[in-house]
Amino acid sequence: MPPIGELSNRREEFHRRWAAHNVRMHTTGVKLLHHPVIGDLACPSRPSHSATAPASSC
């Protein structure tokens, strides 16, 4: 995969979205996963002590 700078130079839409830094902190949520053997899973998440590593109960 090309580096961010290379993607920014080649794709105008990527450059626009990356430059906008439209990122927000999620405080809670549910991650939906599909496992081929077990089936569908809904994993609730909540904030952890680290802003970069959200806790998950799955």
Residue 10 lies in a domain: no
Tell me if 14 is assigned to some domain. Answer: no
Q: Is there a domain that residue 33 lies in? A: yes
Residue 2 covered by a domain: no
Q: Is the pTM of this model over 0.85?
A: no
Considering the chain, what is the average pLDDT of its residues? 75
Q: Quick check: is 12 in a domain? A: no
pLDDT confidence tier of residue 39, bands split at 50, 70 and 90: very high
pLDDT reported for residue 4: 64
Which ranges of 1-58 would DSSP assign to H, the alpha helix? 4-10, 12-20
Is residue 42 domain-resident?
Answer: yes
Confidence of residue 15 (pLDDT cuts 50, 70, 90): confident
Q: Which residue has the tokens 């439209």?
A: 22
**Can you name the residues that pair with 56 across neighbouring β-strands?**
45
Domain interval for residue 33: 24-48
Q: How many residues does the chain have?
A: 58
For the chain, the domain total comes to 1
Residue 31 included in any domain: yes
Q: Can you name the residues that pair with 40 across neighbouring β-strands?
A: 34
The Cα–Cα gap between 56 and 43 comes to: 7
Say if 53 falls within a structural domain. no
